[in-house]
């Protein structure tokens, strides 16, 4: 017997785009038969057979803001924004270990990475920070342009907002959208995301991994007006790490 249907919070919707908060544990799309995903949940909304254009993805274990197109034209316009890196993305993560920069100081990371499909993960190519930038047209946010094992570059700015014992709250501003990018870039610097056993984390986490897409800014696919969507970290974060989540509240996030 199937369990209860997942519930996704809608924070913005019009005729062309919907912004939602994906819970940890729910795949974005391409889930096995019988497994719900953001795609299947939106497709099944009344009156049914809704066009659903997946223009960006969050790993199943990750929570946070996700935009989805409701028309083919909107999907093309939004995909173009991600491809050319005009979308503003802000993530929060709780990480283990010692972050390699002082509190509040931005670190700028350019890495080369590639997918290892046989192990369902990605790996660093060369040393951390050993990549040059690549032109925006070479990016592919939805994941189709990385190829199987083809090296690509990944860029993110990161800083620690607060430390508490053996963990830290980190703010991340990625410009590229590689598969497992933030998970890998943090792990290779000795600070894996809490709960992310695939990338070396020791500490467990009750809801996926402690990575959350907190804010997203893009241009409306038809009008061009700026849309900014935000979602606070899930309740599981507040239960496990109240001191770190207090820093989020203090910043108004």
- Kindly state whether residue 245 falls inside one of the protein's structural domains: no
Please list the residues that pair with 160 across neighbouring strands: 170
Local structure of 74: helix, strand or coil: helix
Question: What residue numbers bound the domain in which 43 lies?
Answer: 9-87+218-232
71 exposure class (CB count in 10 Å sphere: 0-12, 13-18, 19+): middle
Same domain, 148 and 76: no
Tell me the DSSP string of 187-199. Answer: HTTT-PBTT-GGG
Q: Is residue 228 part of a domain?
A: yes
Same structural domain for residues 16 and 63? yes
Cα→Cα distances 144→55, 79, 83, 213, 223, Å = 11, 12, 11, 21, 27
Same domain as 106, residue 72: no
CA–CA gap between residue 69 and residue 77 (Å, rounded): 9
In a domain, 144, yes or no: yes
Asked if 159 contacts 168 with a C-beta cutoff of 8 angstroms, the reply is no
Residue pLDDT tens, the chain, 253 long? 355 567 899 999 999 999 999 999 999 999 998 899 999 999 998 887 889 999 999 999 999 999 999 999 999 999 999 999 999 999 999 999 889 899 999 999 999 999 887 778 899 887 786 665 555 544 545 444 455 678 899 999 999 999 999 999 999 999 999 999 999 999 999 999 999 999 999 999 988 999 999 999 999 999 999 999 999 999 999 999 999 998 887 665 6
Whether residues 29 and 68 fall in one domain: yes
CATH code assigned at 181: 3.30.2350.10
Q: Count Cβ atoms within 10 A of the Cβ of residue 161 and give its class: 0-12 exposed, 13-18 middle, 19 or more buried.
A: middle
How many domains does the structure of the chain reveal? 2
Tell me, yes or no, if the pTM score tops 0.85. Answer: yes
């Amino acid at each position: 017997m199937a369990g209860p249907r997942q519930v996704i919070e809608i924070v913005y919707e019009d005729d062309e785009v919907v912004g939602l908060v994906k819970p940890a544990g729910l795949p974005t799309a391409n889930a096995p038969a019988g497994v719900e995903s953001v795609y299947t949940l939106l497709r099944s909304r009344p009156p049914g057979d809704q066009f659903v254009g997946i223009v960006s993805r969050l790993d199943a274990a990750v929570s946070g803001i996700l935009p989805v197109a409701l028309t083919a034209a909107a999907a093309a316009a939004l995909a173009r924004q991600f491809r050319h890196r005009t979308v503003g993305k802000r993530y929060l993560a709780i990480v283990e270990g010692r972050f390699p920069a002082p509190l509040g100081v931005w670190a700028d990371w350019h890495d080369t990475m590639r997918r290892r499909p046989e192990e369902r993960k990605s790996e660093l190519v060369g040393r951390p920070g050993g990549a040059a930038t690549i032109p925006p047209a070479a990016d592919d946010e939805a994941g189709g342009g990385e190829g199987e094992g083809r090296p690509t570059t990944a860029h993110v700015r990161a800083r620690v907002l607060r430390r508490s014992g053996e963990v830290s709250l980190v703010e991340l501003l990625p410009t590229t959208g590689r598969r497992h990018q933030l998970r890998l870039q943090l792990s290779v610097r000795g600070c894996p995301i809490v709960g992310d056993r695939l990338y070396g984390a020791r500490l467990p986490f009750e809801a996926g991994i402690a990575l959350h897409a907190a804010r997203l800014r893009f241009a409306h696919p038809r009008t061009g007006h700026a849309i900014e969507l935000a979602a606070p970290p899930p309740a599981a974060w507040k239960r496990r790490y109240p001191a770190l989540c207090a820093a989020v509240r203090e910043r108004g996030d």
